[in-house]
Structure formats: structure tokens, C-alpha cells
Amino acid sequence: MNELIQTRAQDGWRTIVLNRPERLNAFTEPMHEELAAGLDAAEADPDCRALLLTGSGRGFCAGQDLEEARANTRPLGYRLERHYNPLVRRLRRSRLPIVCAINGVAAGAGVSIALACDIVLAARSAQFIQAFAAIGLVPDAGGTFMMPRLIGEARARALALLGEPLPAEQAAAWGLIWRCCDDDRLMPEAEALTARLASGPTATLGLMKRAFAASPHGSLDSQLDLERDLQAEAASGADYAEGMLAFQEKRPPRFSGASR
Ligand code: LHQ
């Protein structure tokens, strides 16, 4: 079966692979539907405690499939509202920590989707391209929100207006992503990172995501209040008790990931 999205279940976590390599994993509507179903299934599985998102072939994701966009009469705003914006929101709001392994070029909304994940690793040969200006469009799927916050407005504006590729090493040096590594190390490192997150205090990692999601909109006062509330919630969970006990007993913690 020619799946547009492949899912592999590992012990405690899942890999989700964008799988249209002949089109550099550019998104079509059916691919969005399959990805949403894959994310639904992962979220609903209590044994799944982390996700790894990557692409097959030589690209990560070339954004919207331009052939589909041209052939299909749906307005562009509909596509964003129906597929891209919910995807970005759900990656950000997911209860699961999400690692993104950028195995090759990321362009257009492909960059935005990567940046909506929690930790982004890239192969040294990968590039990030704000490809929008070249086709007469503006950055979307959260690009104008995430890019300036990660790398500063001067760099974000120039990348968007010029559409120049940003090599992975530069992206890491600028703080767009967590780090880059040699191409043959990408998947082993991304998998090790995801497995490590999967053995973490999952519910608490979800609370951390909430704090970071609120941060750009908040003041110091509002973040202090939010952190107080989230900390109370974290401290009421079994993983806090286990973490404290493990510290006392000088052993690694065995987190259940549960919220209580
Ligand atoms: C593609 C694509 C592609 C189809 C490569 N579509 N086939 C949201 C909502 C609604 C509407 C509009 O937009 C959005 C958000 C967006 O994402 S808009 C931005 C869409 N993406 C782009 O504009 C990127 C277009 N692609 C490129 O500029 C290049 O392909 C890059 C720079 C990504 C890679 O270049 P190369 O490494 O030289 O590869 P290539 O161009 O040879 O691509 C390989 C094949 O993939 C090729 O097909 P072919 O039959 O000639 O082998 C491309 O046509 C196809 N492909 N991107 N987005």
C-alpha cells in the first residue's frame, strides 16, 4: 500500500514519516488527512509518550503541493484553515513531546510545521527555505510568528523577503533549531532523543509545553502566575514523587508519565 504517512511504533514512542518522496513530501489534502489520523492514534495511545516526525527520501517537506494548489479550486485560505493551522496548533498543544528530524530540504509551510515541533534536529546537508516570495505568497502556518521569535526580526524578514536557503548549520547557529548533525547520525540521534523523552515525566513535559506556548503572549507577572499553577499540578503527580525518591535513593527515576 502506498501510504502518504507511515507510522512505526517503538517501545513507548512512535515515528511518523511524511512519505511522498518523489515530491519532496509536499502536502496534499489526503496526506493531511492521513497525518491527522496518525496523530490522533498516537495521542489516544496511553503507551505512546513521545513522537518523532521526519520525511522519507531526500527532503523533509516542500510545503504545500503546488500542483494540487493549482489544479484544485479551493481557496488558499480554506487550505490553511482546514489543514495547516489545525496541524500547527495540535503539534504545539500535543500532550506529547515531539522531535522533528529534518532529513533534507524544508520549504514553505514545511518549515513552519517543523518549527511547531518541540525539538528540531537537522542533517548537515538540509536547508530551510522560506519559499513563499518565489511564488508570490506570504509565509504562513505560523512562519511570521515563529521565525522572528526564534532568530530575530532582521533575519526572519530577510529570509522571507529574499527566499534564500538557510543551511542547517547556520539555522542551528542562529537558534532556529536545536542542533544539526552529520547526515548519517541524524536518525540515530533523533531516535535516541525521542526514546529519552518517552521515558520522561510525560504529563509534566506537556505542562512545560503549555508554559512555553503562553510565553510570547504573557508578561513576567502572568508567566509567574502560570508557572505557579503548573508547578502545583506537576507536584500533584506521581512522577514528582518518583523523581524526589529517585534523587534520595541516588538512582535514575522510573517515570510513569501519568498526570496523577
Ligand atoms: C514539488 C514541490 C511542491 C509539488 C518540489 N509541490 N511538487 C499553504 C496553503 C495553501 C496554499 C499555498 O501554500 C501554502 C504553504 C506553502 O507551503 S507555499 C510554498 C510551497 N512550496 C514551495 O514553493 C517549494 C517549491 N519547491 C522548491 O522550490 C524546490 O523543489 C526545493 C527548493 C524545495 C527543492 O529543490 P530541488 O532540490 O532542486 O528539487 P526539485 O525542485 O527538483 O524537486 C524535486 C521534485 O519535487 C520535482 O519534481 P520532478 O517531477 O521535476 O522531479 C519538483 O517539481 C517536486 N516538488 N516541491 N511544493
Is the CB of 26 within 6 Å of ligand 1?
yes
Å from CA of 23 to ligand 1 middle: 7
Phi, psi angle pair for 256, to nearest 5°: -90, -25
Is the CB of 244 within 6 Å of ligand 1?
no
Examine the pLDDT at 20 and tell me if it is beyond 70.
yes
For residue 259, what pLDDT is reported?
79
Å from CA of 24 to ligand 1 middle: 7
Cβ atoms of 5 and 56 within 8 Å: the answer is no
Is the CB of 108 within 6 Å of ligand 1?
yes
Among protein residues, the one whose CA lies closest to atom 58 of ligand 1 = 65
Examine the pLDDT at 142 and tell me if it is beyond 60.
yes
Confidence of residue 72 (pLDDT cuts 50, 70, 90): confident
Burial class (CB in 10 A: 0-12, 13-18, 19+), 246: middle
Q: Which atom of ligand 1 is nearest to the CA of 165?
A: 32
For the residues 51-66, what does the mean pLDDT come to?
98
Mean pLDDT in the chain? 96
Is the CB of 138 within 6 Å of ligand 1?
no
For the residues 113-129, what does the mean pLDDT come to?
98
| Tens of pLDDT, residues 145-180 | 999 999 999 999 999 999 999 999 999 999 999 999
Examine the pLDDT at 57 and tell me if it is beyond 80.
yes
Choosing from 4, 32, 66, 125 the residue with most ligand 1 atoms within 8 A of its CB, the one to mutate for a pocket test is: 66
Cβ atoms of 195 and 10 within 8 Å: the answer is yes
Amino acid found at 129: I
Confidence of residue 240 (pLDDT cuts 50, 70, 90): very high
Residue 22 DSSP code: G
For residue 1, what pLDDT is reported?
53
The DSSP element (H or E) to which 123 belongs, if any, is: strand 119-123
Å from CA of 250 to ligand 1 middle: 52
Distance CA 54, CA 121 (A): 10
Distance CA 138, CA 218 (A): 26
Is the CB of 109 within 6 Å of ligand 1?
yes
Is the CB of 80 within 6 Å of ligand 1?
yes
Among protein residues, the one whose CA lies closest to atom 4 of ligand 1 = 65
Confidence of residue 80 (pLDDT cuts 50, 70, 90): very high
What percentage of the chain exceeds 90 in pLDDT?
Answer: 96
Q: Which atom of ligand 1 is nearest to the CA of 80?
A: 9
Confidence of residue 248 (pLDDT cuts 50, 70, 90): very high
What percentage of the chain exceeds 70 in pLDDT?
Answer: 99
Examine the pLDDT at 73 and tell me if it is beyond 90.
no
